[in-house]
Structure 1
Amino acid sequence: MEPKSKTLKYVKKIAIWAIALYFTAGIVLYFVQDKLIFHPEVLPANYQYKFDIPFQELLIPVNKKVKLSAVLFKAERPRGMVLYFHGNSSNINRYAKVAPDFTRHGYDVLMMDYREFGKSTGRLTEAAMYEDALLMYKVARTRFAPWQIVIYGKSLGTGIAAQLASVRDCKRLLLETPYYSLSDVASEAAPIYPYSLLLEFNLPTNEYLPKVSAPVTIFHGTKDETVPYASGKKLDTLLKKGDEFVTIKGGKHNNLREYPHYREKLDSLLAQ
């Protein structure tokens, strides 16, 4: 009896430590989630952008304390505008290289930095992301009609783009490497926590996509190491007639532009 008793005590002790570790790790995850999700690079207020194509820097006031930094890349003879919502790292400098993909088709490109990114100020929250995206749309509407506005989301920006397209009209919604929701991506990585309750940022693309009336095209690579292809593929079931899910075989998270299939499809969509 004594050996069994010792074994039982040992098992109980291990269970207590395991439970304590589980909750401790969960608490740590909760408080550091911003640093795990977002990797901004802050720029000084006097920083001067340098790009190879014509552009205009915009500083857009949200309120007395918050200003959004944005760059308008200019097409030679603009016939529309692309609202581009970028990924979770760095700032506009990292994503500016994609602007020519759109300007050569006659689209201006308005690209903003989220709060706490680049030269944008204010506290980053999910609600603020939606609010700021709507503000960018209003800027676009001062120049173009809804049928001339393309909303494009890359990675983190796909949830923001989908939400905006669900509440405002546009010509087309394009999503590159999207996720079903952030909690879905987190669950793929470590499925032991209730992320829908744990995460302050959820960005449920799956909830917004069915509300988008504009044509939708999704691009996702099968070797995506950041947002699993399986998470993005779940969105395929939510697409309406005429929408399209474009699979880039072998494509990773940040190299879809290197694939002819992606470039040809994007060119054909922008030429319409």
Structure 2
Amino acid sequence: MKKHLKKIALWAIGIYLAGGIALYFVQDKLLFHPEVLPESYKFKFDVPFEELLIPVNKEVKLSAVLFKAERPRGMVLYFHGNAMNINRYAKMMRNFTRNNYDVLILDYRGFGKSTGRLTEEALFGDALLMYKVARTRFAPWQIVIYGKSIGTGIAAQLASVRDCRRLVLETPYYSLEDVAGDVAPIYPVGWLLKYKLPTYTYLPKVAAPVTIFHGTEDETVPYESGKRLEPLFKKDDEFVTLEGGEHNNLNDYPLFHRKLDSVLSR
């Protein structure tokens, strides 16, 4: 009987360890779902735009699109979610151009026409390049940093090291470890994750006003994870709850547009 139990225990341990190893090596595929575009691909949008190719080094080039407002009074740096490419998020750009902001949106490495290997360090470095592009056109007090989903950690980190007019986070997480812990609670995800994106460590370092949007029925980043950021707020920061809102439908809520229009006009 003891031998039988020992054999079962060894099998269980083996399966557990194999699962942890698999989780470590496939986490990029679990976290990121890019859609690659050929180098010859031409973007087509029904609003004025300019396609940019931002060189990082000889091997890495970043694909970006600058959406143009008619009379821009500033620029939004938009860090998108973990799926597809710029095409998926283009419909959101009107939220900013109609408020007289240009919008610069970047595809992460391996997304769209951007090349190079994706790492957390690369995400932060590429965000700094976006900021440098914005600074050639606008002053810090005219720059809004905006993050959506996985882009919220990137946006928050950038705003913690560079001045801006405002930081806006749509469906943010306390940290990726916080979210991953709900998905794989039996594993020490803090050790396994290559991407930490601890938003909670960046927010206290952000001098600019912060606005967060989160839906109560978010099936991807739990509302509770975003809500954990609220105690880190400064006096005038704001957490906007969208009752019944899910991860990808906040743009359908009139309250979202009223609040966003309000913060962009300040």
TM bracket (short chain): over 0.9
SS in 2 for 1:163: helix
- Paired residue for 2:222? 228
Q: Work out whether 1:213 is the aligned partner of 2:210.
A: no
**How does 1:125-144 map onto structure 2 within 5 Å?**
125-144=119-138
SS of 1:246 mapped into structure 2: strand
Query: Is 1:79 aligned with 2:64?
Result: no
Match of 1:45 among 20, 39, 50: 39
Q: What is the distance in 2 between the residues matched to 1:11 and 1:49?
A: 61
Q: 1:201 — aligned with what?
A: 195
The 2-side partners of 1:54 and 1:197 are apart by: 45
Partner of residue 180 from structure 2, selected from 186, 194, 202: 186
Residues 150-189 of structure 1: CA distance to partner in whole angstroms, max 9, x if unpaired? Answer: 0000001000000000000000000000011111100011
Count of residue correspondences: 266
**Whole-Å separation in 2 of the counterparts to 1:110 and 1:192:** 40
In the TM superposition, 1:26-45 aligns within 5 A as 26-45=20-39
Deviation at 1:10, TM superposition (A): 2.9
Q: Which structure has the bigger radius of gyration?
A: 1
TM-superposed CA distance for 1:15, in Å, is 1.7
For 2:157, what is the secondary structure of its paired residue?
helix
1:9 shift after superposition: 3.0
- Over the aligned positions, Cα root-mean-square deviation in angstroms equals 0.7
Give the 3-state SS of the residue equivalent to 1:101 in structure 2: helix
Match among 124, 146, 156 for residue 152 of structure 1: 146
Q: Distance in 1 between matches of 2:209 and 2:130?
A: 20
Q: Aligned partners of 1:71 and 1:154: how far apart in 2?
A: 16
* Structure 1 stretches lacking a partner, 5+ long: 1-5
Rounded Cα–Cα distance in structure 1 between residues aligned with 2:241 and 2:3: 53
Classify the secondary structure of the residue corresponding to 1:217.
Answer: strand
**1:16 to partner: Cα distance:** 1.5
| 1:15 alignment partner in structure 2 | 9
Deviation of 1:191 after TM superposition, in Å, equals 1.1
Give the letter aligned to residue 213 of structure 1.
A
Q: Deviations over 1:40-61 (max 9, x none)?
A: 0000000000001000000010
TM-score (ref. length: structure 2)? 0.99
What's the TM-score once normalised by structure 1's chain length? Answer: 0.96
Q: Which amino acid aligns with 2:144?
A: V
Q: Secondary structure at the match of 1:136?
A: helix
1:63 Cα deviation after fit: 0.9
Residues in 1 aligned to 2:120 and 2:68: alpha-carbon distance in whole angstroms = 29
In the alignment, the residues of structure 2 paired with residue 84 and residue 78 of structure 1 have an alpha-carbon distance, to the nearest angstrom, of 16
Name the CA distance, whole Å, in 1 between partners of 2:230 and 2:12.
38
Q: Which of 92, 101, 104 is the aligned partner of 1:107?
A: 101
In structure 1, distance between residues paired with 2:207 and 2:233: 10
1:255 equivalent among 245, 249, 254: 249
